[in-house]
Amino acid sequence: MRLDGKIALITGAARGQGAAAARRFAAEGAKVMLTDVLDDQGKELAAELGAEYCHLDVSDEDAWAEAVAFTVGTFGDITVLVNNAGILHFSALAETTLADYQRVIGINQVGTFLGMRAVVESMTRAGGGSIVNVSSVEGLGGMPYLVAYTASKFAIRGMTKVAAMELGQHGIRVNSVHPGAINTPMVGEALGRPIDISPIGKKVALRRVGQPDDVANVVLFLASDESAYCSGAEFVVDGGATATHALS
């Protein structure tokens, strides 16, 4: 039971990478608060796992305060936060509206900032904890047509390092996870149609796209005491995509 005694709040936990992390956490003994805006799916998964569910729009400051208070009141002080919620938006730079840019930044970047800030008091009372911020390989290098998404994921990478430096004195570790092509609904929804991303897998060293469990296993490691001396670091889960460059 690698997370025995841990109290975890996971955002974007109703499906995809967040749901995979929630399953792994519950299986390893954590008390888990699933949060999302997809209430029906979130409640169903929480019931299946013996966990709890709370509606949370991560871009809403007041909603964060309510979610943290609910988690503390239900389980006790939070010792693990997984900032997983995020959205994707494809458009050329010249065609990206301010509204679309701000929507992505509001959820991906501001949501991560608000989440980290919201749990500091609770984690400090608990004597420490682990914050896992889900960035992307687009937080390590740019990709055409993803200006807002890339900006938000680079910001998460940077905020992670600042938070690690500030919060280490309280026993709070902060790390970022950088998934590559993972088989979740996000890409298809961003494009407005179902899409087969399996051909992308042929471009990476391991010759396959990733699965949500591939990311969840790394998140589990960072949430556990096995990563007790890891903070301010970047953990890449991309099948080898960032092992090369454009001239290879």
The fraction of the chain above a pLDDT of 90, given in percent, is 92
In CATH, which superfamily holds the domain spanning 7-243?
A: NAD(P)-binding Rossmann-like Domain (3.40.50.720)
| The residue to which tokens 């994707």 are assigned | 88
Condensed to tens digits (0 to 9), the pLDDT of residues 173-227 reads 999 999 999 998 777 777 777 888 889 899 999 999 999 999 999 999 999 999 9
Catalytic member of 53, 101, 145, 149: 149
Kindly state the average pLDDT of the residues 168-177: 98
Residue 247 is predicted with a pLDDT of 86
Residue 6 is predicted with a pLDDT of 98
Residue 190 is predicted with a pLDDT of 73
Position 70 pLDDT exceeds 90 = yes
Residue 174 is predicted with a pLDDT of 99
Residues 6+ apart with CB under 8 A from 56: 11, 35, 36, 37, 63, 64, 67, 85
Element (H, E) at 162: helix 147-167
Q: Tell me the C-alpha distance between 245 and 47, whole Å.
A: 44
Catalytic residue list contains 101: no
Residue 160 is predicted with a pLDDT of 98
CA 135 to chain centre: 7
Neighbours of 145 (CB within 10 A): 13
With both helix axes pointing from N to C terminus, report the angle between 212-223 and 16-27 in degrees, rounded to the nearest 10: 50
Across the chain, mean pLDDT equals 96
